[in-house]
Amino acid sequence: MDYFKNLLDLLKIEREEDRTQYRRLTETTSVAERRANGLTWYPIAIRGSEIGRGDYLTVEIERTTHQDIPHQIRFGMPAVLFSNHDPKTDRVEGTISYQGGNRAKITLRTDELPDWSRDGKLGVEVLFDDNSYNEMEQALKTASTLSEKPDKRITNILTGEKSPTFHTEVPRLFLPKLNPSQLAAVEKIVSANELAIVHGPPGTGKTTTLVQAIKTLIKQDNRKILVVAPSNTAVDLLSEKLHEEGLNVLRVGNPARVSERLMALTLDYKVGEHPYMKEAKKLKKQANEFRNMAHKYKRNFGKAERDQRKALFDEAHRIMKDVANSEQYVIDDLIAKAQVITATLVGANHYTVRNLTYHTVVIDEAGQALEPACWIPILKAQKVVLAGDHCQLPPTIKSPEAARKGLSTTLLEKCVTLHPEAVTLLNEQYRMHEHIMGYSSQVFYENKVKAHASVAGHSLFEGDTSLAFVDTAGCGFDEKLDGTSSTNPEEAALLMKHLAQLATDLATRYAKQDFPTIAVISPYKQQINILNEQLLNTPELQEYKDKISVNTIDSFQGQERDIVYISMVRSNTEGDIGFLSDIRRMNVAMTRARKKLVIIGDSATLAGLPFYADFITYSENLNAYQSAWEWL
């Protein structure tokens, strides 16, 4: 089918570009540079090892320095253990089987630690992740063959060839926690035979709605449900909330937020706690002892020692077979009892749950999910629930060509256009003051989203305004180019001055522990570095540093703060605004604030785009327009 052939072609372009970028990052760079790029933990210490599935050795490692550097070491990623003694030959590949804090486990494709692991400093580096691409490609090929079969209606509906159907007789639901639009969404999900879509603008309680819908579905016909999302953080949030509602949740994979509560939901933890595993643990210990004894016989000794070594390894191997059988029994038992399985999109194909099928799959954050990845869970179900907001950030795509040819258009976006009858808009938000929300509602949601009474008028203090646009036009704050990223040091200084004045005012109204939370955000990475520097050099803000987070817009999607400052950066005579023209990114930025939003920018540069020109008019009408001259 052309639909899937086209997606396969785009995925191929994306894989090539991703691989090229990975090569560029690794082949010519030093270990210190790769560490700075988040690909490598170096140096590391080995904290322990044990034999695991298929006689592979799992090594627990800890990064001992540079612990504040963000990194890409994630559960399921292919990785390599290497020694700096001779990084070309002293290396063994494997897979990250756990990551939390500064510890990780890597399962190596070997049954003993190589001799070189005792010389030189060791490191672990992520390899190019072909596995995820292979899984996506396989899913698209399977979907393409299934679309020919009449019983796979869901495939034909998602590709737009057929229309979704709904039961008309649905019992009235009583869910007092939900508002009317949330209740309508749950009813739509329950009545759908193949497809339901929950469109959740910022702050409208999408997670709450999904949790109640999942609970209702399970109550009605106790069938297992698969719940997936593109990011571990989104999966964690849903897993926790479903667990709090009393459902039996099994989290497959490795949570990003390593809290006790979440760990207890994971397959690894539940396997470990299962009564059947007490005996298996003893056996495992015994097998590990035999292995350690075997290692004492070096390969280059005489025949007797070699035989002895082999006998010990054989015995360890035999014991581990028994352990594997017990483990499989326990895993099957846990999966049978689970009501909800949660995982990332690719994680839905984890070896433990790979062959399961479900009646319903729920894909959350579908606006950030790459379509090929969505087909992995979709193939396992008869009915799909997509939840998200296509007016916020799309998925990150490495290849501009693939993005341009349509890979950046998500399945959610396509289905909202194809099947409006399947969509419910959640139209009441519980986060923002109505002035903060108003412009976003007008531009993106046809003015349909309203502020709930509890937040519509909430402010930092009596008489404070909730919105300010500080216009730097005519101040001579010209942007600079720093590498490939734009910066505006004077704008950053003005922002900190404005924030310092606000903080001084708030200090007279709030006790330290109740001080409002603050986010300072900008679309440009280099501007973030400058803002962080300025923050350190602003004495009035030092005692509130733990209340202030400074980061890019993309890293704040899904979060909220009491006060948000946005540094727009672009200021030039050509009116060039670069990727500020991606207004979905601005939608995310503007909707993070609960009680106060301050945007600092140059109206002369920004107003070339109607979106910003209209926003400036919107703020003038609310008396929220200020000139930067007042602050200089």
* β-pair type (91-100, 103-108): antiparallel
Distance CA 544, CA 499 (A): 11
Percentage helix, strand, coil for the chain under 3-state DSSP, each rounded to 5: 45, 20, 35
Angle between helices 610-621 and 434-444 (to 10 degrees): 150
Position 27 confidence tier, pLDDT thresholds 50, 70, 90: confident
Give the distance from CA 234 to its chain's centroid: 6
Distance CA 247, CA 537 (A): 49
Tokens of 225: 């449900």
Task: Give me the DSSP letters along 150-217.
Answer: TT-HHHHHHTTSS---B-S--PPP--TTS-HHHHHHHHHHHHBSSEEEEE--TTS-HHHHHHHHHHHH
What mean pLDDT is predicted for residues 380-402? 96
Tokens of 126: 């992520």
Angle between helices 371-378 and 2-27 (to 10 degrees): 120
Share of the chain above pLDDT 70, in %: 99
Tokens of 173: 């639901």
Mean pLDDT of the chain: 92
Q: Which residue has the tokens 């959640």?
A: 426
Distance CA 559, CA 588 (A): 9
What mean pLDDT is predicted for residues 526-537? 95
Distance CA 622, CA 467 (A): 8
Q: Does residue 300 register a pLDDT over 70?
A: no
The per-residue pLDDT for 478 is: 93
Q: What is the pLDDT of residues 218-235, one digit of tens each?
A: 999 899 999 999 999 899
**Cα distances (Å, whole numbers) of residue 17 to 21, 139, 374:** 6, 21, 21
Position 298 confidence tier, pLDDT thresholds 50, 70, 90: low
Which of 111-115, 193-197, 271-275, 558-562 comes out lowest in average pLDDT?
Answer: 111-115
What mean pLDDT is predicted for residues 565-590? 94
Cis peptide, bond prior to residue 43, ω within 30 of zero: yes
Q: Is the pTM of this model over 0.85?
A: yes
Pairs from 151-159 (Cβ < 8 Å, separation ≥ 24): 153/194, 154/194, 154/195, 154/378, 154/381, 154/382, 154/383, 154/384, 155/378, 157/194, 157/195, 157/419, 158/195, 158/378, 158/384, 158/411, 158/414, 158/415, 159/1, 159/3
What mean pLDDT is predicted for residues 321-342? 93
The per-residue pLDDT for 315 is: 87
**Cα distances (Å, whole numbers) of residue 173 to 164, 178, 191, 196, 517:** 22, 11, 11, 17, 38
The single-letter code of the amino acid at 189 is I
Which of 8-17, 205-214, 324-333 comes out lowest in average pLDDT?
Answer: 324-333
Position 116 confidence tier, pLDDT thresholds 50, 70, 90: confident
Which of 114-123, 147-156, 229-238, 618-627 comes out lowest in average pLDDT?
Answer: 147-156
SS3 252: coil
Sorted by sequence, the CB contacts under 8 Å of residue 628 that are 6+ apart come out as: 470, 471, 472, 473, 475, 477, 494, 600
Tokens of 480: 């600079």
Query: How does DSSP classify residue 514?
Result: G
The per-residue pLDDT for 281 is: 85
What mean pLDDT is predicted for residues 588-610? 97
* β-pair type (467-471, 593-601): parallel
Taking Cα atoms as reference points, which of 582, 549, 598 lies closest to residue 433? 598
CB 305 within 8 A of CB 297: yes
Taking Cα atoms as reference points, which of 44, 97, 98 lies closest to residue 67? 44
Q: Is 496 left (phi over 0), alpha (psi -120 to 50) or beta?
A: alpha
Distance CA 163, CA 422 (A): 9
Q: Which residues pair with 51 in a beta bridge?
A: 57
SS3 100: strand
| CA end-to-end distance (rounded Å), the chain | 62
